[in-house]
Chains A and B, each alone.
Chain A
Amino acid sequence: MSDLQFSSPKSVKEAVKILFAAKGKAKVLAGGTDLLVQLRAGRMTGSMIVDIKNIPELRSIKKEKNGFTVGAAVSGAELGAHKAINKAWPGVVEGLELIGSTQIQGRASLGGNLCNGSPAADSVPGLIAAGATCKIAGPKGLRTAKVEDIVLGPGKTSLKAGEFVVSFFLPTRPKRSGDAYLRFIPRTEMDIAVVGASVSLTLDKAGVCSDARVSLGAVAPKPLLVAKAARAIVGTKVDDEALTQLSLAASAACDPIDDKRGTVEYRTKVAGVLARRAATIALERARGN
């Protein structure tokens, strides 16, 4: 076995320096629920592990003037216990909380789930529907990117060598907004999404949808932002006809794989059904806000 090094920086600056010096041979460790499995299976490349959990910025949830900043390594259990985030972005929280068991929730994070690059990552559609952005640190300083621009395909991200996600920003939504994430799996717990769907929407005073974002997971090489599905409900009262159009647009956006979890036809159909159900929940939540 080669000599695997370990480093545990205490600041973003220090982490950037270590990652830069490692010349692309370092792996960033957040909750470890994917990385350690890869390490164990001999599938982890690299000669150094950089644990970013001891950087305060990566572990904190902050209420800002115009939204929330959530550290990339905040665990599912920590996010789930945060009342204000639960109230503002229930769909984002339920996405992260659906990952794995209680034990996994003690460690799994938004940053890790995103950067692992799985098309089926449960927390990513919620972030995309939320219009969340991420703050990325790297050798050239800080930059901001949309969450939908991070994953490029299975295991591949747009992060450059030495870059890592520091935090996510969830903007404050207008009144009468709601979001929801739904996942289909063949059992009730502990499985990988066959399809995931998230919808975030806002209603005006008359109950007409003024803004919406729809995102799908596990139905393409990367999580999708489906603008056409969102357009199907904007300007409507999110009635039956609008929901049918949203559902059709969601199915039309799918380009899934055939595997033991579901066939192409099945995933395509379920994506439409799930998007519709998520929109219905988001609508109820928006009416309650």
Chain B
Amino acid sequence: MTKYHVKTMINGDPAEFLCGTEQTVLDCLRDELGLTGSKEGCSSGDCGACSITLDGRLVCACLVLGVETEGKDIETIEGVADGDDLHPIQKHFLQEAALQCGICTPGFIVAAKALLAENPSPTETETRYWLAGNLCRCTGYDKIVTAVMNAAAEMRGE
């Protein structure tokens, strides 16, 4: 099977991997690079558990081929915390108990981080619409939305 040699930047570090055409970047992150933080939920772009950013743009890693990421900048959940210091969004997810099983959590955190990078003061409605592509079957969303709103406030210095 033809394998392609792909060079990317992942969470600020150069990363290379070999992949077949049909492997998604999610497959590459998890199976070739051992970055298992991004989760595979639906594999069809419906659930958002595999959310990453590609050149700063929020996407589903299951809908991007590994070979497409040549020369691109990828950010995953593994790059959100600064060493042992959790990102404010992560801290507020813990404080609010905004997770139960945790499968959707990396996707929510990556998506919420992308939201706050674009809009530091989202309304609750804006937050809910932005996160509409992230599905959670445990929490009922309220705690997640509260955690994101609280993190936004903290990041604004309030």
Contact = CB atoms under 8 A, between A and B. Distances in A.
A53 B54 CA distance: 13
B44 A103 contact: no
B21 A49 contact: yes
A106 B24 contact: no
Contact of A104 (B4, B21, B22, B60): B60
A32 B21 contact: no
Contacts of A41: 44
Interface in B28-72: 43-46, 48, 51, 54, 57-60, 62-65, 67-68, 70
Contacts of B133: 100-104, 190
A235 to B, nearest CB: 40
A5 B21 contact: yes
B2 A5 contact: yes
A109 interface: no
B99 interface: no
B79 to A, nearest CB: 17
A61 B20 CA distance: 32
Contacts of B63: 31-33, 36-37, 103-104, 107
B17 to A, nearest CB: 14
Q: Is the interface of B mostly helix, strand, loop or mixed?
A: mixed
Contacts of B22: 1, 4, 39
Interface string B104-137: 0000000100110000000000000111111000
B1 interface: yes
Given A102-B132, A102-B133, A3 B65 contact: no
A13 to B, nearest CB: 21
B96 to A, nearest CB: 21
Interface residues of B, number: 34
A160 interface: no
A189 B21 CA distance: 32
Interface residues of A, number: 30
A8 interface: yes
Contacts of A8: 67-68, 70
Contacts of B114: 102
Contact of B59 (A49, A107, A188): A107
Residue from A6, A8, A29, A33 with most neighbouring chain B CB atoms (10 Å): A6
Contacts, number: 91
Interface in B1-19: 1-2, 4
A69 B63 CA distance: 27
Interface string A8-33: 10000000000000000000010111
B21 A4 contact: yes
B20 A103 contact: no
Interface string A88-101: 00000000000011
A106 B43 CA distance: 17
A32 B65 contact: yes
Contacts of A32: 63-65, 68
B21 to A, nearest CB: 4
A76 to B, nearest CB: 10
Contacts of B130: 102
Given A4-B21, A4-B22, A36-B65, A75 B45 contact: no
Contacts of A3: 1-2
Contacts of A77: 57
Contacts of B65: 6, 29, 32, 36, 49, 51
B70 A103 contact: no
9 contacts: A5-B21, A6-B21, A33-B63, A40-B44, A102-B111, A103-B58, A103-B59, A103-B133, A106-B54
Interface of A: 1, 3-6, 8, 29, 31-33, 36-37, 39-41, 49, 51, 53, 75, 77, 100-104, 106-107, 188-190
